[in-house]
Amino acid sequence: MEVDRFDKAKDECETFEERFLWMMKNLPTFVEKPELWDDPYFNEFMEQATFASMSFEEQEAYIASMKQKWDYDNSIEFAEQKGLARGREEGREEGMKQGALEVARRMLEDNEPIEKIVKYSGLTEDQIKAL
């Protein structure tokens, strides 16, 4: 198909193929990135076309700024993951402590000897007496 023969207006394009042909035909006329359809493919295509139209120095500067952004984003993601892991570990420890206290309470209600409760709950004698 010859792109030059495609004569639909942007608003008339309904299918992906029509939108692609419109974009290919009009790409040389774009002065700045136009507002395109809500499709990640077209947005990515425009970013690549914009990058390709930059001078070598502009491309180098763009790559450097993107590396900084990616490093920052990765640092934030790592910190979030580490915080979640720490929170899970603290939650697990708290849950185990609460479980041990509940076991000790039940054993006390059943009049089990404190030595046996210490052995099975992992709590100290003072902790059990405090219950």
The count of structural domains within the chain is 2
User: Quick check: 39 pLDDT over 80?
Assistant: no
pLDDT digits (tens, 9 = 90+) for 63-84: 999 999 898 888 888 888 887 8
Give this prediction's pTM: 0.46
31 contacts 53 by C-beta, under 8 angstroms: no
Residue with token string 């059990």: 128
Sorting pLDDT into bands at 50, 70 and 90, what band is 55? very high
Residues 48 and 82 in one domain: no
CB neighbour list of residue 41: distance below 8 Å, 6 or more residues apart: 16
Residues 83 and 22 in one domain: no
Query: What is the residue-wise DSSP string for 53-111?
Result: TS-HHHHHHHHHHHHHHHHHHHHHHHHHHHHHHHHHHHHHHHHHHHHHHHHHHHHHHTT
Q: Which of 71 and 92 is assigned the larger pLDDT?
A: 71
Question: pLDDT above 90 covers what percent of the chain?
Answer: 8
Q: What pLDDT does residue 107 have?
A: 84
Residues 120 and 75 in one domain: yes
Residues 89 and 124 in one domain: yes
Instruction: Quote the mean pLDDT of the chain.
Output: 82
Range of the domain at 25: 1-53
The single-letter code of the amino acid at 86 is R
24 contacts 41 by C-beta, under 8 angstroms: no
Residues 71 and 45 in one domain: no
Q: What pLDDT does residue 34 have?
A: 64
